[in-house]
């Protein structure tokens, strides 16, 4: 079995390639970047040219779904990894409107609503077993 097959099997959430503008916020700082892929669990972005983010603290990611910026997916995220020219973020919180937009986006790209329902159930189960926030 190849390394990529092993990582695909370990990955519980379908990632879709997605080209969209994203703004990363941390305190008073903002960075504009591109989303490379997205899932119910997080997102992968390009590293912004002017990147100075504090990688030990949380970020807010705003993924713009249209040019007017009126429709967006907003996530509270933590940096999971930084590799070459990419930043991988783990979603810590997403509101109901944003999860609805993200679910629809993934359904349109995957074409199998039952897969999305299984992923949502897995995500809910995973969060049900986390310790309460302090």
Domain count, the chain: 1
Supply the range of the domain harboring residue 80: 17-128
Q: Specify the CATH number for the domain of residue 40.
A: 2.40.10.220
Per-residue pLDDT of 20-58, as tens digits, reads 899 999 999 999 999 999 888 899 999 999 999 999 999
Average pLDDT, consecutive stretches of 10 residues, N- to C-terminus, the chain (134 residues): 38 66 95 92 93 95 79 94 94 91 80 61 53 50
Q: What is the pLDDT of residue 66?
A: 76
C-beta separation of 47 from 31 below 8 A: no
Instruction: Specify the pLDDT at position 7.
Output: 42
Query: Is 2 part of a structural domain of the chain?
Result: no
**Does residue 78 belong to any structural domain of this protein?**
yes
Contact between 74 and 94 (Cβ < 8 Å): yes
Is there a domain that residue 68 lies in?
A: yes
For residue 110, give both structure tokens: 């995957």
Please classify residue 11 by burial: count the beta carbons closer than 10 Å to its beta carbon, then call 0-12 exposed, 13-18 middle and 19+ buried.
exposed
Is 80 among the domain residues? yes
- Residue 8 domain-assigned (yes or no): no
Q: Does a structural domain hold residue 5?
A: no
- The pLDDT score that the predictor gives to residue 117 is 62
CA–chain centroid gap for 103, Å, is 12
Within-domain flag for 30: yes
Residue 117 is assigned to a structural domain of this protein: yes
């Amino acid at each position: 079995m190849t390394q990529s097959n092993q990582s695909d099997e370990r990955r519980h959430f379908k990632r879709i390639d997605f080209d969209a503008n994203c703004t990363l916020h941390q305190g008073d700082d903002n960075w504009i970047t591109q989303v490379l892929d997205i899932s119910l669990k997080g997102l992968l972005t390009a590293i912004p040219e002017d990147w100075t983010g504090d990688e030990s603290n949380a970020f807010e990611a705003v993924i713009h779904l249209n040019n007017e910026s009126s429709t967006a997916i907003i996530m509270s995220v933590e940096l999971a990894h930084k590799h070459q020219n990419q930043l991988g973020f783990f979603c810590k919180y997403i509101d109901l409107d944003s999860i609805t937009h993200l679910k629809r986006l993934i359904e349109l790209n995957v074409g199998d609503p039952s897969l999305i329902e299984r992923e949502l159930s897995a995500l809910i189960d995973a969060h049900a077993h986390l310790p309460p926030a302090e």
